[in-house]
A and B are shown apart, each in its own frame.
Chain A
Amino acid sequence: MKKDNILWIAIAIFIILNLIVLLKIVIMDNKKVSNTTSNSIQVAETNNVKNEVNILKNETTVVQTQVDNKIKNMSEASRIRNYCAKYFDAIEKKKYDTAYAMLNENLKNNYFKDEESFESYVKTTYPTGTIYLNYNSVERKGEIFQLQLTINDEISQTMIIRENDANNFTISFSVNQ
Chain B
Amino acid sequence: MNINSRITLAIRRFFKKYGKTIFIAFFIWLIVFTVNQYLKNKPKESGAVNKAYNPDKPIMGVDAGTVPNSEKETIKTTIDEFFKNCNSGDFKTAFNMLTEDSKKYLYENNVNNFKDYYSEIFTGGKTYYIQNYANIDKKYIYEFHVLDDLESTGGTNASDEFKEKLVITKIDGKYKVSNQGYIGNKVINKTAEDNNMKVIVESKDINYEKEGYNITITNKTDKDIVIANGEYDDEVELNLGDQTRKALNTQNATFVVSANSTKTFTFIFTKFADDEKNPTEIRFNDVRLFDTYKTTSTSSSASKLYSFNLSLK
**Contact pattern, A 109-122, Cβ under 8 Å of B = 1, otherwise 0:** 01100000000000
Given A25-B37, A142-B55, residue A160 in contact with residue B154 (CB < 8 A): yes
Cβ–Cβ contact B38 & A21, under 8 A? yes
Residues A158 and B38 in contact, CB atoms below 8 Å apart: no
Q: Is the CB of B150 within 8 A of A146?
A: yes
> Are B43 and A141 in contact, with the CB atoms below 8 A?
no
What string of 1s and 0s marks CB contacts (under 8 Å) between A151-173 and chain B?
00000001110110110001011
Point out the residue from A18, A29, A79 that lies within 8 Å of B30, measured CB to CB.
A18
CA distance A170 to B154 in the complex (A): 11
A172–B30 touching, CB < 8 Å? no
CB distance from A175 to the nearest CB of B (A): 5
Among B38, B41, B152, B155, the residue within 8 A (CB) of A110 is B152
Interface mask (A1-31 → B, CB under 8 Å = 1, otherwise 0): 0000000000100010010011001001100
In the complex, which residues 31-80 of chain B have their Cβ closer than 8 Å to any Cβ of chain A?
Answer: 31, 33-34, 37-38, 41, 43-44, 46-53, 55
Rounded to whole angstroms, the CA-CA distance of A165 and B44 in the bound complex is 16
Tell me the minimal C-beta distance from B164 to chain A in angstroms.
15
Is the Cβ of B43 less than 8 Å from the Cβ of A142?
no
A25 in contact with B151 given A69-B46, A72-B46, A175-B156 (CB within 8 Å) = no
In A96-150, the 8 Å CB interface with B consists of: 104, 106-107, 110-111, 140-144, 146
Give the distance to chain A from B87, nearest Cβ to Cβ, in Å: 15
Q: Say whether B154 contacts A144, CB under 8 Å.
A: no
How many Å from the CB of A123 to the closest CB on chain B?
18
Contacts of A47 in B (CB 8 A): none
Q: Is the CB of A172 within 8 A of B27?
A: no
In the complex, what's the smallest C-beta–C-beta distance from B167 to chain A, in angstroms? 19
Q: Do A165 and B46 have beta carbons less than 8 Å apart?
A: no
CA distance A158 to B148 in the complex (A): 13
Interface range for B: 35 or more
**Contacts between the two chains (Cβ within 8 Å), count:** 101
Q: How far is the CA of A140 from the CA of B150 in the complex (A)?
A: 12
| A48 at interface by CB-CB < 8 Å | no
Q: Are B153 and A107 in contact (CB under 8 A)?
A: yes
Q: In angstroms, how far is the closest chain B Cβ from the Cβ of A69?
A: 5
Q: Using Cβ atoms and an 8 Å threshold, which residues of chain A touch B150? A: 141, 144, 146, 160, 172
Q: Which of A22, A66, A104, A111 contacts B33 (CB 8 A)?
A: A22
B136 interface residue (CB < 8 Å to A):
no
A147 to chain B, nearest CB (A): 10
| Shortest Cβ distance from A172 into B: residue | B154
Q: Is B105 an interface residue (CB 8 A)?
A: no
Give 5 new A-B contacts, CB below 8 A, not counting A63-B43, A69-B43, A72-B46: A22-B37, A79-B49, A110-B152, A165-B49, A175-B154
Q: Which residues of B contact A (CB under 8 A)?
A: 27, 30-31, 33-34, 37-38, 41, 43-44, 46-53, 55, 128-131, 145, 147, 149-156, 158, 161
Sample (16) of A-B pairs whose CB atoms are under 8 Å apart:
A15-B30, A18-B31, A21-B34, A69-B43, A71-B49, A79-B49, A104-B151, A106-B152, A107-B152, A110-B153, A142-B131, A163-B49, A163-B51, A172-B153, A174-B155, A175-B153
